[in-house]
Structure 1
Amino acid sequence: MSVIVVTGTGTEIGKTVVTAALAATAVAAGRSVAVLKPAQTGVGRGEAGDVEEVRRLAGAVVGAELARFPEPLAPDTAARRAGMAPVSPAEVAQAAAKLAAEHDLVLVEGAGGLLVRFDEEGGTLADAARLLGAPVLVVAPAGLGTLNSVALTAEALRARGIEQSGVVVGSWPEEPDLAMRCNLADLPRVAEAPLLGAVPAGAGALDPAEFRAAAAGWLAPALGGSWDAEAFTARFAEPFTAAREA
């Protein structure tokens, strides 16, 4: 069974685009891929959600959504306010396992951060990952403040005995500031896990064909791509090293 759980350190940081890049890279390598969204919030009936966005960008991907709640809130809160049944970690694990029996790779994309509540019992994406025995890939923003949230997420994973496969920067700008450049070296240190990619800002707006052609170049070999963390970090860290030496 090959399942990767994709979480973030917060909302609107590029989880869906990173999930699409993972899917596109795997499809290009000839693997069958399914994407599971346990709880889609803030999207109404008939509107395109995260699964549809991944399929638009990545191509031949099977998509599944367990529940949809109209208000843009944590899944537990959104379900309660809508008078709908929440999704439990056990249901997420069961659905992912079923997809994994039929596909080479299953990507489970969470909502918000790792410990956002899914149900009234306090179940989280971390609980689903633990039930699956699946590694968790953390998507993080590039800028100031990300080190603390990445460290907290990593600590929560270690405390639960869950493997963290690494960190991917969800949106890397064309002109990164000092904090962003420094974070390339600091993120793997605070996460105690490798930096496994950096997706360019605005990648989700690319034509799908362009997105699919470029996706592998944003992800490290451990995720099926060709991105070189050491070279990428050196490229942006070098000017600041030179400035200090001068």
Structure 2
Amino acid sequence: MGKGLFITATGTDVGKTYVTALIVKKLKEAGYHAGYYKAALSGAECIADSDAGYVKKVSGITQEDDTLISYLYKEAVSPHLAARIEDNPVELQKVTEDFRKVTEEYEYVTVEGSGGIVCPIRWDETCRLLLEDVIRALELDTVVVADAGLGTINAVVLTVEYLRQHGISVKGVILNHYTGDVMQEDNVRMIEMLAQVPILAKVKPQDTELSMDIGKLVSLFA
């Protein structure tokens, strides 16, 4: 069985998919048999045009499309609402089974979340499922992707504390859109002090490589 790591974020549009692609790419280029998985994805007509398709293209992995995602919705809304509109609710058993199949094939599997950590995956009369339930079911540790700019201290601390309070381990934070100005440097310092987690990497605009030691990256997977 391969090892896995869950990538979540402080919210939508902070660059979680972009950073995930860089992680998978770095693993692959270092010679590791790297795979990808996402439980539910909304807002795409097909896998090739989805976040999963983007990760596959950027990273260069050759994983079969139908193993990348368990549930693909066309509606560009939260997965729970897309599932209701399209009458195709997420089944946690299918998610765990699909993930295990990927880990049987790949050495290191990077799992991408949907939106921020408080993201409803299914919410109906018979089942209420949040993203945190998926993380716990897959028994994974997490890395939080956040924007490097204004407001990130609050967003990161709240996200990290939420994860901890719900029994989920946080390995660290990756800051996206990093330019290294005085405010962003202070954000790094304050996040590490207030959230008590390390800044694992700083991703600059247009970066095509993840500036992180490969040994350190591999050590995050469990």
**Residue type at the aligned position of 1:14:** G
Identify the match of residue 69 of structure 2 among 65, 72, 82. Answer: 65
Alpha-carbon contact 1:33-1:61 (below 8 Å) kept: no
Structure 1 position 49, deviation (Å) = 0.8
Higher relative contact order (CA 8 A, sep 6+): 2
Q: In structure 2, what is the equivalent of residue 91 of structure 1?
A: 94
The two structures have a TM-score, normalised by structure 2, of 0.87
Structure 1 position 38, deviation (Å) = 1.5
Q: How many matched pairs?
A: 212
Alpha-carbon contact 1:154-1:192 (below 8 Å) kept: no
**Cα distance between partner residues in 2 of 1:163 and 1:27:** 25
**Cα distance between partner residues in 2 of 1:179 and 1:86:** 43
Structure 1 position 88, deviation (Å) = 3.7
**Cα distance between partner residues in 2 of 1:73 and 1:137:** 24
Alpha-carbon contact 1:39-1:66 (below 8 Å) kept: yes
Structure 1 position 177, deviation (Å) = 4.3
Alpha-carbon contact 1:90-1:128 (below 8 Å) kept: no
Relative to total residues, which structure has the larger helix share, 1 or 2? 1
Seen in structure 2, the aligned counterparts of structure 1 residues 76 and 91 have a Cα distance that, compared at 3 Å, is same
Q: In structure 2, what is the equivalent of residue 107 of structure 1?
A: 110
Q: In structure 1, what is the equivalent of residue 217 of structure 2?
A: 223
Alpha-carbon contact 1:199-1:218 (below 8 Å) kept: no
Q: Which structure has the bigger radius of gyration?
A: 1
**Cα distance between partner residues in 2 of 1:111 and 1:46:** 15
**Cα distance between partner residues in 2 of 1:153 and 1:76:** 20
Secondary structure (helix, strand or coil) at the match of 1:55 reads helix
Identify the match of residue 168 of structure 1 among 162, 169, 174. Answer: 174
Alpha-carbon contact 1:89-1:124 (below 8 Å) kept: no
The two structures have a TM-score, normalised by structure 1, of 0.79
Q: In structure 2, what is the equivalent of residue 54 of structure 1?
A: 55
CA RMSD of aligned residues (A): 2.1
Unpaired stretches in structure 1, ≥5 consecutive residues: 204-210, 226-246
Structure 1 position 181, deviation (Å) = 2.1
Alpha-carbon contact 1:6-1:137 (below 8 Å) kept: yes
Alpha-carbon contact 1:196-1:220 (below 8 Å) kept: no
Structure 1 position 221, deviation (Å) = 4.5
Whether 1:118 aligns to 2:124 is no
Alpha-carbon contact 2:48-2:54 (below 8 Å) kept: no
**Cα distance between partner residues in 1 of 2:192 and 2:91:** 31
Identify the match of residue 202 of structure 2 among 192, 198, 201. Answer: 198
Secondary structure (helix, strand or coil) at the match of 2:129 reads coil
**Cα distance between partner residues in 2 of 1:86 and 1:109:** 19
